[in-house]
Amino acid sequence: MAEYVLLYRSTPEAHDAAMGTPERSRESMAKWRVWIDDMNAKGCLKDLGLPLVRTGRVLRGRDKSVVDGPYAETKEVVGGFSIIEARDVAHAAEIASGCPILDGGGSVEIRPVMAMPG
């Protein structure tokens, strides 16, 4: 088994559609809880991770220029992450396919965690 980071991305509009009212927020969080509980039950959730604030800053280049976010280069913003264990990237994609963010037009980026020599 290997570790994979799932990066949850959506547009500000999709996020507002899912979380914009208390009722929609409760419904959305209930879907997330079902998916998370399923990953836990199957033993593949390594670390639930954390949600991220939808704004931030990017430092670039040697001059360390600062750009405020959300970022014009992309329409989607990373809203959070989790770490899972899977047999391979195809298995990780299968696990990620149940993510509720996909129902709202968002995406899940699947990134293998690199083993550090040690």
CATH number of the domain that 53 lies in?
A: 3.30.70.1060
Does 118 reside within a domain?
Answer: no
Does 46 reside within a domain?
Answer: yes
Does 72 reside within a domain?
Answer: yes
Kindly report whether the global pTM for this prediction surpasses the value 0.85.
Answer: yes
Cβ neighbours of residue 76 closer than 8 Å, sequence gap 6 or more: 9, 10, 11, 106, 107
Does 69 reside within a domain?
Answer: yes
Orientation of helix 22-42 relative to helix 12-19, angle to 10°: 100
Does 66 reside within a domain?
Answer: yes
pLDDT along the chain (118 residues), means of 10: 96 87 94 97 97 84 79 75 97 97 94 90
Does 117 reside within a domain?
Answer: no
How far apart are the two ends of the chain, measured CA to CA in Å?
Answer: 18
The identity of residue 54, as a single letter, is: R
Domain of 57 in residue numbering reads as: 2-112
Q: How many CA atoms lie within 13 A of 14 on its CB side?
A: 17
**Total domains present in the chain:** 1
